[in-house]
Amino acid sequence: MTNETIEVIMRRRSIRDYKPDQIEEEKLQIILEAAKFAPNAGGRQLWHFTVIQNKKVIEDMVEKMINVIKQSGNENLQKKISNPDYHTFYNAPTVIVVSGAENARLIEIDCAAATENMLIAAESMGISSCWIGSAELVLSDENVKKTLGIPAGYKPLYAVSLGYSATKDKEQPVPRKENTVNFVR
Ligand SMILES: Cc1cc2nc3c(=O)[nH]c(=O)nc-3n(C[C@H](O)[C@H](O)[C@H](O)COP(=O)(O)O)c2cc1C
């Protein structure tokens, strides 16, 4: 048995190549509503969403990210930036940053739930996405936080790239591990 919701969940893939076409405003608003309707501890809704659709701002963040990676000891990321096509957000026309209130218990979990809701909502409307956890390296920069208008008392946690896939048909699902479930009946 299946239904549209299950099909969307199974169909979603992290997409790492986008067409330059911007996503429709109406779809963007639905994605943001879906984020805000995520479950959150105590119903506090201590999250904030920053929509970035300014190419220069996105490119500046990528440049800063490359500099941060160069100075970090992260070999995995250093290998990635050695690729001349490296782009933190894979050239997506829209990036959404998810921030959470500093010192709020369980806030990462709330923000992760909101992030997943955005990915699923986007997929349901034919918009592709990728969760960009590594962006935290550049989002913690005070100048970047200022440029993005992150409210005082909030820390940026995750970024999501959104756009129309340039590769979707070629993407194969990442195989899922076996033996990650047990039953007590
Ligand atoms: C917390 C988190 C952080 C992630 N960070 C990145 C990232 O920085 N860059 C990236 O390309 N993908 C990132 N991903 C995407 C994962 O690599 C991807 O979800 C995983 O390989 C499974 O593939 P799928 O999403 O296509 O099913 C992240 C995913 C999660 C949940």
Q: Is the pLDDT of residue 18 over 80?
A: yes
Residue from 12, 14, 62, 157 to probe ligand 1 pocket by mutation (most atoms less than 8 Å from CB): 14
Shortest-distance Cα residue to atom 6 of ligand 1: 132
| Contacting residues for 59 by C-beta, under 8 A, at least 6 apart | none
**Does residue 87 fall inside a structural domain?**
yes
Say which CATH number the domain at 92 has: 3.40.109.10
What is the reported pLDDT for 73?
Answer: 86
CA-wise closest residue to 10 among 119, 162, 130, 132: 119
Please, which pLDDT band fits residue 104 given cuts at 50, 70 and 90? Answer: very high
Amino acid at the residue 151 = P
Residue from 78, 85, 130, 171 to probe ligand 1 pocket by mutation (most atoms less than 8 Å from CB): 130
Write out residues with Cβ below 6 Å of ligand 1. Answer: 13-14, 16, 130-134, 174
Q: Is the pLDDT of residue 24 over 90?
A: yes
Question: Whole domain around residue 22: which residue ranges?
Answer: 4-167
Q: Rounded to the nearest 5 degrees, what angle is found at the Cα of 82, between the Cα atoms of 59 and 141?
A: 40
**Does residue 181 fall inside a structural domain?**
no
pLDDT per residue as tens digits for the range 67-93: 999 999 889 999 999 999 999 999 999
- Mean pLDDT, range 9-37, rounded to an integer: 97
